[in-house]
Chains A and B, each alone.
Chain A
Amino acid sequence: MKEQMMKKNKKNSKKGVLFLGLVIVITVLILALMPEKSSLILQTSFDYFLQMAMVFPAILILMGLFNVWVSKEFVMLHLGESSGVKGIAMAFFLGAIPTGPIFIAFPMAQALHKKGASYTNIVIFLSAWACIKIPQELLEMQFLGVKFMLVRLGMTIVFITIMGMIIDRLIRMKQII
């Protein structure tokens, strides 16, 4: 399993390099064909490069720190042990910690389900994992502004909670019938 994943990772990074090569060729062609646009294109790319360079190393380091300090076992241990508001808060928190790609979250969710965690908390955990990861929020703040990030985060938390409760009801309802 691990070997397979590593192979996939290698394949993905190869794809990334190939794609970059393609984009560079396209860029050079466009610059050659439309020299009047070249300063605008290069200036814009350079601006974004700077904006990215100012925060991205920090964000990667943060992800590395979480990776080392928070283990999968820690998440499993603390998730699904409490219910109610505390359980919901815990599901959000553990989902938002950057501990890895989404495909490791699904087997974790399955194990939690077997452990007896509610569907509400599982939905919250998976959704938080997918869309309110801390590094993502930081980049959103950088490129879309603090206000945009905070408003979207607030609403996402509210609606994910509602969704969790709805799915819990829907699945239980069908089980009774």
Chain B
Amino acid sequence: MKTVILINGLVIISLIISFSKDKMKTKKSLLIALKTLGKIAPSILSVILLIGIMYGLFSDKIALFFGQENGVIGFVSIALFGSVIHMPALLAFPLAGSFLKEGASISAVAAFITTLTMIGIVTLPLEIKTMGKKFAIYRNAISFIIALIIAVLMGVIL
């Protein structure tokens, strides 16, 4: 609940500041927010329903696949899964939160989110075109390694 208050408070203050500086710009930003909501709402509702189904049907299996007992191979396959799938990061957090609730290990969840956001297989062609093959391959490969390191350290720290 504290988080909810913090986030909403922060945004309300920003809105007030923005409004006092420029009404038109603020109006435009609200319109953009509304438009984005329209675009992303179906995907959010899908993820919310899928979380419910997963929880109802496979909650014991999630712990098996994302749990600590699954070992190194399981851990690396989660990281690979996160690298390959393409999904808006905003949707990944509720999903990751539900994994954690169902008994996934902290490392597995951290590996999933970090690879998902940091590595872009879908955008790889664009990255190669703009920054060169060497740069793109280095960045994505090293990102994968550091995602694994971050995930392991997260498990140790938390």
Contacts and interface: CB of A to CB of B under 8 A. Distances in A.
Interface of A: 9, 12-13, 16-17, 19-20, 23-24, 26-27, 30, 34, 37-38, 40-46, 48-49, 51-52, 54-65, 67-69, 102-103, 106-107, 109-110, 113, 119, 122-123, 126-127, 130-131, 133, 135-136, 138-144, 146-148, 151-152, 155-156, 159-160, 162-163, 166-167, 170-171, 174
Contact of B55 (A20, A44, A63, A174): A44
- Interface size on B, as a range, is 35 or more
B158 A142 contact: no
Contact of A122 (B12, B53, B131): B131
Contact of B56 (A37, A54, A160): A37
Contact of B7 (A20, A45, A107, A141): A141
Interface in B94-121: 94, 96-98, 100, 106, 109-110, 113-114, 117-118, 120
Given A37-B57, A59-B7, A163-B139, A48 B51 contact: yes
A45 B48 contact: yes
B15 A156 contact: no
Contacts of B53: 26-27, 30, 41
Contact of B142 (A26, A30, A34, A163): A163
A20 B51 CA distance: 13
A54 to B, nearest CB: 5
A67 B32 contact: yes
A127 B156 CA distance: 24
B153 interface: yes
Interface in B14-68: 14-15, 18, 25-26, 28-34, 36-40, 42-46, 48-53, 55-57
Contacts of B55: 40-41, 44
B31 to A, nearest CB: 8
Given A64-B33, A171-B134, A23 B158 contact: no
Interface of B: 3-4, 6-8, 10-12, 14-15, 18, 25-26, 28-34, 36-40, 42-46, 48-53, 55-57, 89-90, 93-94, 96-98, 100, 106, 109-110, 113-114, 117-118, 120, 123, 126-127, 129-131, 134-135, 138-139, 142-143, 146, 149-150, 153-154, 157-158
